[in-house]
Structure 1
Amino acid sequence: MRKALTAVVVLAAGGAASAFLVNRGDTSQATNQAAQALPVNTTKVTQQTLKDTETEDGQLGFGTTSSAVSRIAGTVTAVPDSGQELRRGNTVYSIDNKPTILLYGALPAYRKLSIGAEGNDVLQLEQNLKAMGYTGFTVDDEYTDATAEAVEEWQDDLGLDETGVVELGSVLFAPGHIRIDSVQGQEGTPLGPNQPVLSYTGTTRAVTVQLDAADQRLAVMGAAVTVALPDGKTVPGRIEKVSTVIIPAESPDKDPETKVEVIVAIANQKAVAAWSSAATDVTFTASERKNVLTVPVAALVALREGGFGVEVTDGTTSHYAPVKTGLFASGQVEVSGTGIKAGTTVGIPK
């Protein structure tokens, strides 16, 4: 007589699980019992693409906010309006009637630039001078006499003293066009060094999502997501930035929270042009398995000898077949095993 096969039938609902034993032997009595105990509820093994998705709250806006701080002490004499867009060569703000000019570049301004200076900030400056139409110098990382002459010409056009020197605080480097988010230093406000004047963003609309640290698996750079807009339409997006942020505690008896901030780029800007700010739903795909065999999770049984199985039936007999499980998603589970193919009928325990 062969060893009996014992299976524990796993029932899962709402995250809870329960189990009961099913014993099957090799005797005729066991066979008759098995025939009488054919599963009442059945389903078919299907072949499909299985996606592990999760939907999170998002905020449509203009992406990450940056702060512009005064590098010198003085009085704020000019600031833009919130929502105003600025381009290369525009004045961002003025302290003591000395303007801070927007230039493009990834490296922040951190020092005075004058003849003899070398570095990427010099290269950025010269690239901007050339883009604004100034000539007579070589675009490289060296601040030469020719660079100083171009700077003097630029200063003359701005109505400034022609020093040929770019003082710290006279330029603001940003990746591109900026949009003023809010203004902290109103006209007439005295400011000390390193005090915030205003905050700004890019001009391209994007969606910001703050994930719990436990959901960091969703934040994959370059991954495609789907954004549901307030009008019910959806638009594709792509993760362009992932960072960790600390959310301050709301009260002394609570701890700060660690969040994973995700910036989602929207290629179709026309689709989101109607909103400057809006709540959205963002659907992330953590993993995807194409053209795999699946059954409902409820069809799985836990085998006493280890692993999982399914109860395969042809309507008159049934047997437990071991399966290897893969991705679990949307109430389905990826399975594979001997004799398991699309269309196979399996039982779903009560």
Structure 2
Amino acid sequence: MAKLGMIAGGLALLLAGTGIGWAASVVTREPPEVASEAQYAEVEATQGEVSASVATVVTVSWPTNRAAVNQASGIVTGVNVRRGDRVNAGDALYRVNERPVIVAKGRVPAFRDLNAGTKGADVQQFSALLKAKGYLRATSRTMTPAVVTAAKAWQRRLGVEPTGVVRRGDVLFVRDLPMRVVLDPKSFRVGAELGGGQAGIDRLGAAPVFTATFGEAQARQVAEDMTIKVTSGSHAWTGRLGAVKAGINNESTARVTGPSGGSLCGKTCNTIPLSGTTRLSGVAEVQAPVSGVVVPVAALASAADGSIAVIGRDGSRIPVTVKARARGMAVVQGLAAGTTVRVPGQ
């Protein structure tokens, strides 16, 4: 029994010694080596330029607005104007049953025949046409004998029977003249039958409308008032973007106007086709070209107070002012070209 006790005591001492050795090893083992400072690359600030642009498709078309509604009935026997032609009071737009339909200025549309004794604003408008054409000395709100006589002379000039009665479909009153007219080619073509009440007599807008379209990623880069350059053949126009509005299919659109908000094409709008929609190429200037000392945007370090600096080769902060940023590069002020700066590693 004494021998067994001595063996057990020896095992206990051995185990205790082993535990002490393991603990000592853990406590005294050196920690793994840790880098004393972050890894970085060194780059040299250089003289250069930064800029950014977005290519886009610009569509252009001429807008139209309702000018009048046809009141003549019969077969169209002639069309006197082409799309976009400028017309004045007294001009014939088309003929129905060989009777010309004349445009005149007036706010009240033709709604009845004008006979001897008829009174109203429509008579005043018609008499103003006769006066402007030299058939009448003064306007009148009544179809007086003088107005009827003038109407007959006017009808003879047009080549129609001089009855002195002005049919409802003889005159189209429009608010403003002169205007550039657009007739619906489906309704107003030789051989077409009219029953009165046809729309499709429109006024061409003063200038075409340009619209830029941007994809989802492009739309995040552009903003209202950015400069955009649009090219059409040998013509190039510089304008600005209007408000960028979200559309369908993750696309956004913006109207394009001239630099001061007027027409983009100015005196060269006659180069834009009067019908249909034309696709042109455009380039929106996200960042105008700025020259100076260029460093990577990643080299810029912001402080808690909002100031910006770059880190020199020796680790010192060099305060700078950012003049422009584009495509990962920045033009800064306060740093000399040739200075080596740190760029943090990944």
TM-score, scaled to structure 1: 0.52
Please give the alpha-carbon distance, in whole angstroms, between the structure 2 residues aligned to 1:242 and 1:125: 45
Please give the alpha-carbon distance, in whole angstroms, between the structure 1 residues aligned to 2:245 and 2:109: 25
Indicate the SS of the match to 1:40: strand
User: What letter corresponds to residue 56 of structure 1 in structure 2?
Assistant: T
1:266 corresponds to which residue?
A: 265
Task: Tell me the CA shift for residue 183 of structure 1.
Answer: 0.5
Q: Greater share of strand residues, 1 or 2?
A: 1
2:92 corresponds to which residue?
A: 91
User: What letter corresponds to residue 92 of structure 2 in structure 1?
Assistant: T
1:235 corresponds to which residue?
A: 236
Residues 145-202 of structure 1, C-alpha deviations (whole Å, 9 max, x = no match): 8996897365553345545798796244566453657611133333455434466636
Aligned 8 A contact 1:45 1:293 in 2:
yes
Pair 97,40 (structure 1): closer, same or farther in 2 beyond 3 Å? same
User: What letter corresponds to residue 79 of structure 1 in structure 2?
Assistant: V
Indicate the SS of the match to 1:183: coil
1:188 corresponds to which residue?
A: 191
Q: Which region of structure 1 is more displaced relative to structure 2, 169-178 or 143-152? A: 143-152
Please give the alpha-carbon distance, in whole angstroms, between the structure 2 residues aligned to 1:148 and 1:224: 58
Q: Which of 33, 40, 43 lines up with 2:42 in the alignment?
A: 40
Pair 244,305 (structure 1): closer, same or farther in 2 beyond 3 Å? closer
Q: Percent identity among equivalent residues?
A: 15
Pair 346,80 (structure 1): closer, same or farther in 2 beyond 3 Å? farther
Please give the alpha-carbon distance, in whole angstroms, between the structure 1 residues aligned to 2:150 and 2:330: 66
1:23 corresponds to which residue?
A: none
- Count of matched residue positions in the alignment of Structure 1 and Structure 2: 288
Aligned 8 A contact 1:242 1:260 in 2:
yes
Task: Tell me the CA shift for residue 57 of structure 1.
Answer: 1.7
Gaps of 5+ in 1: 1-28
Alignment of structure 1 residues 137-176 onto 2, 5 Å: 137=138, 152=151, 154=154, 156-159=156-159, 162-163=164-165, 170-172=172-174, 176=178
Pair 205,318 (structure 1): closer, same or farther in 2 beyond 3 Å? same
Please give the alpha-carbon distance, in whole angstroms, between the structure 2 residues aligned to 1:334 and 1:130: 70
Pair 69,44 (structure 1): closer, same or farther in 2 beyond 3 Å? same
1:178 corresponds to which residue?
A: 180
Pair 269,108 (structure 1): closer, same or farther in 2 beyond 3 Å? farther
User: What letter corresponds to residue 201 of structure 1 in structure 2?
Assistant: L
Please give the alpha-carbon distance, in whole angstroms, between the structure 1 residues aligned to 2:150 and 2:326: 61
Alignment of structure 1 residues 61-76 onto 2, 5 Å: 63-66=62-65, 70-72=69-71, 74-76=73-75
Larger Rg: 2
Please give the alpha-carbon distance, in whole angstroms, between the structure 2 residues aligned to 1:157 and 1:272: 37
Q: Greater share of helix residues, 1 or 2?
A: 2
1:22 corresponds to which residue?
A: none
Pair 73,298 (structure 1): closer, same or farther in 2 beyond 3 Å? same
Please give the alpha-carbon distance, in whole angstroms, between the structure 2 residues aligned to 1:333 and 1:109: 63
The answer to whether structure 1 residue 56 and structure 2 residue 56 are counterparts is yes
Pair 103,317 (structure 1): closer, same or farther in 2 beyond 3 Å? farther
2:317 corresponds to which residue?
A: 319
2:16 corresponds to which residue?
A: none
1:282 corresponds to which residue?
A: 282
Task: Tell me the CA shift for residue 291 of structure 1.
Answer: 7.5
Residues 231-285 of structure 1, C-alpha deviations (whole Å, 9 max, x = no match): xx4423557x9899999x9xxxx99x98555565423539948998853223455
Pair 55,316 (structure 1): closer, same or farther in 2 beyond 3 Å? same
Please give the alpha-carbon distance, in whole angstroms, between the structure 2 residues aligned to 1:237 and 1:327: 22
Aligned 8 A contact 1:70 1:192 in 2:
no
Residues 309-346 of structure 1, C-alpha deviations (whole Å, 9 max, x = no match): 34153x555426475x676556665767xxx3675957
Indicate the SS of the match to 1:187: coil
User: What letter corresponds to residue 57 of structure 2 in structure 1?
Assistant: D
1:15 corresponds to which residue?
A: none
User: How big is the alpha-carbon RMSD for the aligned residues of Structure 1 and Structure 2?
Assistant: 5.9
1:9 corresponds to which residue?
A: none
TM-score, scaled to structure 2: 0.52
Task: Tell me the CA shift for residue 307 of structure 1.
Answer: 4.7
Gaps of 5+ in 2: 1-34, 113-117, 258-262
Indicate the SS of the match to 2:157: helix
Please give the alpha-carbon distance, in whole angstroms, between the structure 1 residues aligned to 2:110 and 2:243: 27
